[in-house]
Chains A and B, each alone.
Chain A
Amino acid sequence: MITKRIIPCLDVRDGRVVKGVNFAGLNDVASPVELAAYYSANGADELVFYDITASAEGRALFTDILRETAGKVFIPLTVGGGINEVSDFDRVLKCGADKVSVNSGAIRNPKLVGEAAKRYGDQCVVLSVDVKRVDGVFRVFAKGGRENTGMEAISWIRSCVEDGAGEIVVNSIDTDGVKQGFDLEMLEKVCDAVSVPVIASGGAGKISDFITLFRTLPKVDAGLAASIFHFGEVRIPDLKQAMKDAGIPARTAV
């Protein structure tokens, strides 16, 4: 039986790992290569590298760091950030990424998901979507959560899955950084709408938030978080043990 995945997310800017709280006020945390190798050795099931660099120099640096990390980390590696064209898929896949996550790029270029899925396979294309409630409706936000696109989130996700997105990362802006648990209401709506794996993101503050997530929504495949792992507030081996104790299939490190 497939285990539920625990995925640390590393936001990388200018070669360093940073994590925003509600997407603002970033702090430097650690070296991406070191942090990735640490997670790989300590039971993370997958890693997400998110490139939040704006400049071309930063992008080139990110690609170098990705290659170095992929040479040392032997678990699946997903890369996101700055993915606007099919050539961006090619760029990061050549550096050792296994999957590529698209967000604003898919909003700007509605053909991107379909073209990439055709070329690299559905399993390679991850749709990452930042969602926030606006007047009681789930809306898709772009540009790192700053811009309301006006699109309704569930229909957007469904159309991307039809185009070939093989996996969905649902990041709730409403719960992100608040550490009071995942956005179960939002996640349930997404799980009901699609049949591809759903990854929950935004809101985890403690081990029990993950247990609640997988118990309440057995269709959720993975939980993603950043700072609680980077700052050691939740240790992944402890989390995996707690999941096992709760009867949730989990892979423990060796």
Chain B
Amino acid sequence: MIVLIDYGVGNLFSLTSSFRAIGQDVKVTGDPEELKRADKIILPGVGAFRDAAALLRERNLDTAVKQAVKAGTPLLGICLGMQLLFDKSYEYGEYEGLGLIPGAVRPIRDVIPQDLKVPHIGWNPLIMKKESPIFKYVHDGDCVYFVHSYYAADCEEAVTAAAEYGAELTAAVQKDLVFGCQFHPEKSGEIGLRMLRAFCEF
């Protein structure tokens, strides 16, 4: 069973539709107990890091996610869900993340030329950095859809793909069984569905 964590951050309609499109059943739940029984876990998220991290903590989902990872359950964080995998974020302050991948989330504005707009929004080709099981059916140069104002930094060892936007921004990461993508696979057409399929098959 694949569990999609519902912790009150954002709309899960598109993600659940994507899994339906690839013929994969998912259980949408906010119950930490369900994570123990999961074969794989998806951590979605949109909005502000601070609020999302607080919601995970309030519902004891932070501990449940960490325990599941320790027990060998593959985890995929999507967009803000990926950012939450890191040690901390500097979005409007300094906030602690799940600490599953070493690194920090920093403002895009600090690393790109002034004439480029923030958020980084739109279709951007992936620059593959390392092999990763989630990219089994995805290739260098395939375009995926991004919407974000912060990016994962200080995590070079974990970066599996990047996107060029005045600087190379982290697009996807992996550390052992913990995966993350900054882009939205549920909005990235066939390429996004392929990535989700590869994660399900992994």
Within 8 A of A (CB), among B166-191: 186-191
**A16 CB–B CB distance under 8 Å:** no
Contact of A93 among B11, B120, B145, B187 (CB under 8 A): B11
A98: which B residues are within 8 A, CB to CB?
Answer: 14, 187
A72-80, A143-151, A184-192, A223-231: which lies at the interface = A72-80
Interface size on A, residues (CB 8 A): 28
**In the complex, are the beta carbons of B17 and A71 less than 8 A apart?**
yes
* Chain B 2-36: CB-based contact to A (< 8 A → 1; otherwise 0): 00000000010110011011000000000000000
Contact of B145 with A3 in the complex, beta carbons under 8 Å: no
Say whether B164 contacts A3, CB under 8 Å: no
- Contact partners of B189 in chain A: CB under 8 A: 40-41, 74-75, 253-254
- Is B165's CB within 8 Å of the partner chain A? yes
Chain B proximity mask over A100-139: 1 for CB below 8 Å, otherwise 0: 0000000000000000000001110000000000000000
Whether a CB of chain A sits under 8 angstroms from the CB of B1 is no
Q: Give bound CA distance, A166 to B165, whole Å.
A: 18
Interface status of B192 (Cβ within 8 A of chain A): yes
* Given A2-B165, A93-B11, A251-B143, A74:B186 Cβ within 8 A: yes
Instruction: Look across to chain A and name the residue whose beta carbon is closest to the beta carbon of B138.
Output: A254
Q: For residue A2, which residues in chain B have a CB less than 8 angstroms away from its CB? A: 120-124, 165
Q: Is B99 an interface residue (CB 8 A)?
A: no
Asked if B164 and A251 make an inter-chain contact with CB atoms under 8 angstroms apart, the answer reads no
Please provide the chain B residues from 94 to 132 with a CB less than 8 Å away from any CB of chain A in the complex. 117, 119-125
Q: Are A123 and B147 in contact (CB under 8 A)?
A: yes
Q: Does B154 contact A (CB under 8 A)?
A: no
State the main secondary structure of chain B at its contact with A.
mixed
Question: Which residues in A have their C-beta under 8 angstroms from that of B147?
Answer: 123
Which residues of chain B come closer than 8 Å to A76, judged between CB atoms?
145, 187
Q: Is there an interface contact between B165 and A74, defined as CB atoms closer than 8 Å?
A: no
Q: Hey, which chain A residues are within 8 Å of B11, CB to CB? A: 93-94, 96
Interface string of A182-226 (1 = CB under 8 A from B): 000000000000011100000000000000000000000100000
B156 within 8 A of A: no
- A197 contacts B14, C-beta separation under 8 Å: no
CB distance from B33 to the nearest CB of A (A): 28
Chain B residues bordering chain A, tally (CB within 8 A)? 30
B14 touches A96 (CB 8 A): yes
B193: Cβ under 8 A from any A Cβ: yes
Which residues on A sit within 8 Å (CB–CB) of B187?
Answer: 74-76, 98
Bound CA–CA A75/B144 (angstroms)? 10
Complex: A19 Cα to B124 Cα, angstroms = 31
- Given that A1-B164, A41-B190, A195-B117 are contacting pairs, would A74 and B18 also be in contact in the complex, using a CB cutoff of 8 Å? yes
In the complex, what residue of chain A is closest to B166 when comparing beta carbons?
A1
Cβ proximity bits A229-254 to B, threshold 8 Å, 1 near / 0 not: 00000000000000000000001011
Of A70, A251, A253, which contacts B17 at CB under 8 A? A70
**Considering the complex of A and B, which 6 residue pairs feature the smallest CB-CB distances, nearest first?**
A251-B143, A2-B122, A71-B17, A251-B123, A3-B123, A96-B13
List 14 A–B pairs whose Cβ atoms lie within 8 Å, in order of A's numbering. A2-B122, A2-B124, A2-B165, A3-B143, A70-B13, A75-B188, A94-B13, A95-B13, A96-B17, A121-B47, A197-B117, A251-B123, A251-B143, A253-B190
Q: Which residues of B contact A (CB under 8 A)?
A: 11, 13-14, 17-18, 20-21, 47, 117, 119-125, 142-143, 145, 147, 164-165, 186-193
Residues of A in contact with B (beta carbons under 8 Å apart):
1-3, 5, 40-41, 45, 70-72, 74-76, 93-96, 98, 121-123, 195-197, 221, 251, 253-254
Known: A76-B145, A76-B187, A123-B121. 18 other contacts (CB 8 A): A1-B125, A2-B120, A2-B121, A2-B122, A2-B123, A3-B123, A40-B189, A41-B190, A74-B17, A74-B186, A74-B187, A75-B145, A93-B11, A122-B119, A197-B117, A197-B121, A251-B125, A254-B142
